[in-house]
Amino acid sequence: MEFVNRNSTNSIRSTLKSNKSESILMKTDTKETQVRVIYTGGTIGMMRNKRNVLAPIPNALVKQICKYPNMHDQEYAEKRFGMSTATTPLVLPHADGELRRVIYHITEYDPLLDSSNMTMLDWARIAKDIYQSYETFDGFVVLHGTDTLSYTASALSFMLENLGKTVIITGSQIPIFETRTDGTDNFISALIIAGNYVLPEVCVFFGNKLFRGNRTVKISSNALDAFESPNSPPLGRIGVSVAIDYRLIFRPCSVSRFTVHSELDENVGILRIFPSISRSTFQAFLSPPLKGVVLQSFGSGNIPSNRQDILDAIKTAVDRGVIIINCTQCANGSVAEIYDTGKILFDLGVLSGFDMTPEAALTKLSYVLGKAEWSLEEKKQMMQSNLRGELTSPTDPSIEEFHLVEAVAKSLQIFSARDLEQLEATLFPAMLANAVITSDIPNFSFKLNNLKSYGADLSGTNQDHRTALHLACHNGNAEIVNYLLLNGVSVHIRDRYDRTPLHEAITTDNHEIIQLLINCGAHLTGSSRGIGEKLCAAAARGSMKRLKSYQLAGADLTQPDPSGRTALHLAALHGHEDIVRFLLPFHENLEETDLLGLTPLDYATRAKHFTIVNLMNDFISIT
């Protein structure tokens, strides 16, 4: 399957990163955020065909979007990127209340699919596309048909391991080409959230609600509120403004980088039991090559306990190593061992799926079975663990009844919900910052746990959009940084001045912290020429430490500044021999010229730094 690159990753990179193409970018004080949109198909981009049925139309979505001034700001796009070309991204007009304007790049798949035609290979393709452009974008939106959207959302939630950025899947019930479409609202809201909110989850946005993807089910084939997450509240709602409940966000709590596991095992199935199900149907279903099955049982996890034939078939399958997960047929609730008819399953070695949706249980099985490095016991253990917030674990920490913010609000005589929210948004980041500044590790963990139990979002930001991690990185306490990372604090949040925690660690040249952040998936952000400027400034000052900080953070040390000068040009000009020695091996040759046509050797020669001239001539003779 080929995909049409309206904006292939290469051209995206060249628009965003390449020093050569940035000259067309206008100087702007407007804050921007970059979102990649992966358009897989679905009703949102369908039209009626000759047979009068809905089918996806290639290359039509972008043209339609450009007609909506609330979806694309043509004037801004032209000023920002020059006259419109095939590689120009789309621009969402500024949304009130949001810091950043969303620039979005659409990758349209070919063929576009009705989601009923999608397979596990399509999930793998989406996952790989996100992986391959992960560092270039702040967030991702996947446009998808609604029919199997919950399966895709659930599968991606497992496949995208240690996800640190927002991924939102959405679609519509009415095509975007029709007057009453719900597609524009769903799409615009998804773009705003993906671009402006760092939520490290695969989410579904539909009908003004943001859900955890692996908790969703499609509940209606015609209502605009087509999705629900029966056993878990929405993560957010869009009304006049965006309201995210940060306490509900599931955060990866390990210091590991984002990666994709795309090996899924297709030998899985869902068996919905019904009265008088025949032995042959049951047995046929459980036969090889099946390796994992979601058994949808009655009520709170019951099957007919008087059907020895069924019980025998289950026992044989479990003994063969098949993983059987018990999930309820009910739309709400979970399985539990409260009836004899349910207990019997557990005694046979069937695992509890607790309150997982069948979509989540099935895709989790296929993910877990695809982990060749895990033993059968480990796989079973994983199936019962809460990997991505897909099941309510009995060990989930409960939030204190006594709400700290409410107590403060009372004493300040604050009563409206809005003022209360504001107070909470101010108090928690301030208290976290205080803990970062004043504590040693035992004290810090005590304070952090207390704040968590009062419902504080540890990735919460202050008025300058700075997190406790920004502060800890600036202060240079690696233990506290590590502790925050282990508690899921995001490394990707940019403050009002677009600085990430990684910038703070670079500014203070704390190599231990830079390494920690990189291990956790942090990466350099901002324009590559901006980084070139910083490298040149460091070289001019003779700051080897700063250059090494950038090297550790993954910078290309040959990156030129807007005048085409590299750090090597500046080190040569200022006569810093040690820095020239350090930088030379990063250059393939010394032919890079700045805007005046001068090479690093020209700089050294004109500045009469003859040892450096000799060094460079030696380098040229061996390259």
Catalytic site positions: 43
Q: How far is CA 600 from the centre of its chain?
A: 41
Counting Cα atoms < 13 Å in the Cβ hemisphere of 525 gives: 21
On whether the CB atoms of residues 592 and 599 are closer than 8 A, the answer is yes
Stretch that binds ligand ASP, among 77-85, 112-120, 575-583, 611-619 (CB under 6 A): 112-120
CB of 143 to ligand ASP, least distance (A): 9
Nearer Cβ to ligand ASP, position 202 or 226? Answer: 226
- Cα 594 from Cα 569, distance rounded (Å): 9
Nearer Cβ to ligand ASP, position 219 or 273? Answer: 219
Closest to 125 measured CA to CA, from 137, 138, 108? 108
267-286 footprint of ligand ASP as x/- string (CB under 6 A): --------------------
Q: How far is CA 300 from the centre of its chain?
A: 34
Nearer Cβ to ligand ASP, position 171 or 460? Answer: 171
114 binds ligand ASP (CB under 6 A): yes
147 binds ligand ASP (CB under 6 A): yes
Counting Cα atoms < 13 Å in the Cβ hemisphere of 129 gives: 31
Nearer Cβ to ligand ASP, position 114 or 602? Answer: 114
Nearer Cβ to ligand ASP, position 150 or 229? Answer: 150
533: its two tokens: 């400027």
Element (H, E) at 352: strand 351-352
Beta strands, E only, 178-291 = 202-206, 209-212, 217-218, 227-228, 236-238, 242-244, 259-260, 268-272
Which is it for strands 236-238 and 209-212: parallel, antiparallel or unpaired? antiparallel
- Beta carbons within 10 angstroms of residue 23's beta carbon: 9
* 24-83 binders of ligand ASP (CB under 6 A): 41-43
CB of 306 to ligand ASP, least distance (A): 40
On whether the CB atoms of residues 218 and 147 are closer than 8 A, the answer is yes
Dihedral of the alpha carbons of 47, 51, 53, 58, in degrees to the nearest 10: -30
Nearer Cβ to ligand ASP, position 34 or 150? Answer: 150
Closest to 32 measured CA to CA, from 105, 91, 106, 107? 91
242: its two tokens: 């965006």
CB of 156 to ligand ASP, least distance (A): 16
CB of 554 to ligand ASP, least distance (A): 39
145 binds ligand ASP (CB under 6 A): yes
Closest to 323 measured CA to CA, from 279, 280, 374, 277? 374
Query: What's phi and psi for 482, nearest 5 deg?
Result: -60, -45
Report which DSSP code applies to 88. Answer: P
Stretch that binds ligand ASP, among 139-147, 155-163, 412-420, 515-523 (CB under 6 A): 139-147
Nearer Cβ to ligand ASP, position 173 or 477? Answer: 173
- Beta carbons within 10 angstroms of residue 508's beta carbon: 15
Stretch that binds ligand ASP, among 143-151, 413-421, 477-485, 574-582 (CB under 6 A): 143-151
Counting every residue written for the chain, the total comes to: 623
Beta strands, E only, 267-309 = 268-272, 292-297
Cβ-Cβ contacts under 8 Å for 176 (sequence gap 6 or more): 44, 45, 61, 64, 65, 183, 184, 187
Nearer Cβ to ligand ASP, position 226 or 427? Answer: 226
- Cα 39 from Cα 106, distance rounded (Å): 7
Nearer Cβ to ligand ASP, position 222 or 375? Answer: 222
On whether the CB atoms of residues 163 and 200 are closer than 8 A, the answer is yes
Helix (H, G, I), strand (E, B) or coil at 346: helix
Element (H, E) at 379: helix 376-384
Q: Which of 146, 181, 214, 232 binds ligand ASP (CB under 6 A)?
A: 146
* 459-498 binders of ligand ASP (CB under 6 A): none
CB of 294 to ligand ASP, least distance (A): 21
CB of 40 to ligand ASP, least distance (A): 9
Q: Which of 115, 216, 334, 482 binds ligand ASP (CB under 6 A)?
A: 115
420: its two tokens: 């209360």
Stretch that binds ligand ASP, among 108-116, 121-129, 242-250, 525-533 (CB under 6 A): 108-116
Stretch that binds ligand ASP, among 10-18, 111-119, 237-245, 436-444 (CB under 6 A): 111-119
- Cα 235 from Cα 528, distance rounded (Å): 34
Nearer Cβ to ligand ASP, position 154 or 525? Answer: 154
For residue 256, give the amino acid letter.
S
* 116-135 binders of ligand ASP (CB under 6 A): 116
- Cα 322 from Cα 304, distance rounded (Å): 20
173 binds ligand ASP (CB under 6 A): yes
Helix (H, G, I), strand (E, B) or coil at 132: helix
Helix (H, G, I), strand (E, B) or coil at 39: strand
Nearer Cβ to ligand ASP, position 40 or 459? Answer: 40
CB of 362 to ligand ASP, least distance (A): 17
**How many residues contact ligand ASP, by CB under 6 A?**
11
* 436-455 binders of ligand ASP (CB under 6 A): none
CB of 176 to ligand ASP, least distance (A): 11
CB of 227 to ligand ASP, least distance (A): 11
Q: Which of 171, 234, 342, 460 binds ligand ASP (CB under 6 A)?
A: 171
CB of 171 to ligand ASP, least distance (A): 5
Helix (H, G, I), strand (E, B) or coil at 203: strand
CB of 140 to ligand ASP, least distance (A): 19
For residue 495, give the amino acid letter.
D
Residue nearest to ligand ASP (CB): 145
Element (H, E) at 33: strand 32-41
CB of 170 to ligand ASP, least distance (A): 10
Nearer Cβ to ligand ASP, position 54 or 270? Answer: 54
359 binds ligand ASP (CB under 6 A): no
Residues that bind ligand ASP (CB under 6 A): 41-43, 114-116, 145-147, 171, 173
